[in-house]
Structure 1
Amino acid sequence: MDLQWLVPLGGFLTVVGGGIAWLINRADKKRDSREAAVIQTLKDMVAELKKKLRWWERRDARRTRAGDNWRGQLLANQIKPEPAEWPEDPEEKDE
């Protein structure tokens, strides 16, 4: 039996295997770059939301301090504020 066909078959399979490995490696690199882009986008969104949250907290604190000062002025001048106590915020219900 003549086995000379094994050498070209081995070379062919090596080339095909190398091509498949290259394609898989290329797909992995693209996936990694997309994942990195998504992660960076999410980090940017989290940073922006934290910035907005800090702004809203500062705004709320300013308004609360101003309201406390006005309430104190009313009480100092024997004026009964309406409502008598600060109202509580209603609980948010999940929809």
Structure 2
Amino acid sequence: MDAGTITAIVGAFTALSAGVWKLIDRQDKKRERREVKVEELLKTRVANLEAEKEAEKAAREAELAALRRYSSRVKAAAGKWREQLIAAGIDPVPAEWPEEEAQTHD
């Protein structure tokens, strides 16, 4: 092989390897952009799910507080009815008011 042929082959290989390097670099950049987009999407979804979780937790706490208020009103009304029965000379059933049980459930 003469020097001209070797130079041409080396030049062709150099051009080919530069082209392959460019294609690989382009694909790597595309992959990195997709990874960044997926990461942003997942972060957004996680944030949304955490916000939903907090909203559901707040709703449960509000519902529980409402049930506690309602239970307290019912207990107060039951105590008044019991006092009215005793004032009217009627023995309420049960004869003893379950104060300890009512307080342990609060």
Fold equivalence (TM over 0.5): yes
Residues 45-91 of structure 1, C-alpha deviations (whole Å, 9 max, x = no match): 01011111111110100010010011011112227xxxx9x8xxxxx
Structure 1: distance between partners of 2:10 and 2:44: 51
Identity level (%): 28
Q: Does 1:34 align with 2:34?
A: yes
| 1:10-68: CA deviation from partner (whole Å, max 9, x where unpaired) | 01100000000000000000011001101100100010111111111101000100100
TM-score by length of 2: 0.70
- Specify every segment of 5 or more residues in structure 2 that has no aligned partner in the other structure, as ranges: 80-101
Q: CA deviation at 1:4?
A: 3.0
CA distance, structure 2, for counterparts of residue 8 and residue 30 of structure 1: 33
Structure 1 residue aligned with 2:4:
4
Structure 1 runs of 4+ off > 6 angstroms?
Answer: none
Higher relative helix content: 2
Q: What residue in structure 1 maps to residue 72 of structure 2?
A: 72
Structure 2 residue identity aligned to 1:8: A
* Corresponding residue for residue 88 of structure 2: none
Matched residue type, 2:62? R
**Which range moved further: 1-10 or 18-27?**
1-10
Q: Which runs of 5+ in 1 are unaligned?
A: 87-95
Task: Kindly report the root-mean-square deviation, in angstroms, between the aligned alpha carbons of the 2 structures.
Answer: 1.7
Higher radius of gyration, 1 or 2: 2
* SS in structure 1 at match of 2:4: coil
Separation (CA, whole Å) in 2 of partners of 1:21 and 1:2: 28
Paired with 2:5 and 2:48, the residues of 1 have a C-alpha distance of 65
Distance in structure 2 (CA, Å) of the matches to 1:39 and 1:2: 55
Aligned residues: 81
Q: How does 1:75-86 map to 2 (within 5 A)?
A: 75-78=75-78
